[in-house]
């Protein structure tokens, strides 16, 4: 697995997980300006960037398992996981699969509600082998992930009520790719977690590039949680 790293090597670790398609370099503005006292790590998720394999890794549990070696405590403080878009369910999966090793979560424009997942008419065409072979690796793997996402979210949904830790949600009301209605689902499903929501009325889906200050403020708030996630 490939990743980029910056900041204080002795500081509390913050791990950034991109959506689909995407890569670690999408978090460049964060890596160039890490908050004092933090170490920032941005990964290429399996199937993207410089990480293997070549094909798609559609199971959320496998995506979360790739984070396990990075879940390192510093002075008793476990990492804060930041997930954008499809990275949102990946960080939640990591928290439920590795209890006690995740300090808090920040979900930016996260897609958690299985009821809101729809297959676009063009996606099965993109999965048809003669077309799929003509697509770039990021696009064909993204298509495979999205087509498999609904049942993956259905499995994850049954585990959301057990999660207990600070969860910061940042979502734009004008998000047309991952509807704002995901926020209501997360509020209801994460009923034992300490959920805080920051609604951005004028923002769309691309928060890592348009709302860095809001996400960094969410990281700072997440650091105040009592954690870790269990």
**Distance between CA atoms of residues 149 and 134, nearest Å:** 23
For 85-104, give the secondary structure using H, E and C.
Answer: CCHHHHHHHHHHHCCCCCCE
pTM beyond cutoff 0.85: yes
**What is the residue-level pLDDT of the chain in tens, covering all 230 positions?**
999 999 999 999 999 999 999 999 999 999 999 999 999 999 999 999 999 999 999 999 999 999 999 999 998 999 999 999 999 999 999 999 999 999 999 999 999 999 999 998 899 999 999 999 999 999 999 999 999 999 999 999 999 999 999 999 999 999 999 999 999 999 999 999 999 999 999 999 999 999 999 999 999 999 999 889 99
Nearest-angstrom CA–CA distance, 64 and 83: 11
| CB within 8 Å of 48: residues ≥ 6 apart | 18, 20, 21, 22, 23, 137, 138, 141
CA 104 → CA 38, 74, 89, 116, 177, distances in Å? 14, 14, 14, 25, 25
């Amino acid at each position: 697995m490939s990743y980029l790293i910056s900041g204080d090597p002795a500081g509390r670790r913050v791990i950034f997980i991109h959506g689909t398609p995407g890569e670690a370099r999408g978090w460049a503005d964060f890596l160039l300006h890490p908050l004092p006292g933090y170490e920032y790590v941005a990964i290429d998720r399996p199937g993207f960037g410089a990480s293997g394999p070549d094909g798609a890794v559609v199971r959320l549990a496998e995506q979360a398992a790739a984070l396990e070696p990075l879940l390192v405590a510093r002075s008793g403080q476990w990492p804060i996981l930041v997930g954008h878009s499809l990275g949102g369910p990946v960080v939640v999966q990591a928290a439920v699969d590795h209890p006690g090793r995740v300090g808090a979560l920040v979900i930016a424009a996260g897609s958690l509600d299985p009821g809101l997942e729809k297959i676009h008419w063009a996606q099965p065409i993109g999965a048809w082998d003669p077309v799929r072979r003509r697509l770039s690796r990021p696009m064909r793997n993204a298509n495979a992930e999205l087509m498999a996402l609904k049942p993956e979210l259905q499995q994850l949904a049954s585990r959301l009520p057990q999660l207990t830790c600070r969860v910061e949600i940042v979502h734009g009301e004008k998000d047309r790719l991952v509807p704002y209605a995901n926020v209501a689902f997360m509020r209801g499903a994460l009923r034992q977690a300490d959920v805080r929501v920051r609604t951005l009325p004028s923002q769309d889906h691309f928060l890592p590039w348009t709302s860095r200050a809001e996400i960094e403020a969410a990281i700072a708030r997440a650091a105040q949680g009592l954690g870790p996630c269990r």
